Amino acid sequence: MLNPEKVLKKYVPMTETAFYILLSLDEPRHGYGIVKHVEKITKARLLLGSGTVYGTLTKMQKDGMITVFADEERKTVYERTDLGMLILATEIKRLKELHENAIKYGGDVDDHQNI
């Protein structure tokens, strides 16, 4: 049986890759669909390789964060589990705190753009 606390400690804070893969599963998607979705929402700043995506999906499935939604013609479609949603929500809360503190205490970063 998976221990949610152990999985939470293993994934939070998340790597950017894991975060975007889990975020992309706001609807069931296959690996290539995840790659294209991440490319779109990051405006091609983050380009995921298939090895990275499928390696991360395998780990997340093993840890109970995602599950197979469907197997279609050589494409496995994944979806988030409740545990995956809990971990994503925890990470988003952490990132919101970082953002708020960066704005509050980080000063005006535009003043340092020309360094």
pLDDT at 4: 87
CA pair distance 71, 76, nearest whole angstrom: 5
**Crossing angle between the packed helical segments 16-24 and 31-41, to the nearest 10 degrees:** 110
Residue 100, classed as helix, strand or coil, is: helix
List, run by run, the mean pLDDT of 10-residue segments along the chain (115 residues): 86 96 97 97 96 96 95 91 97 97 83 63
pLDDT at 2: 77
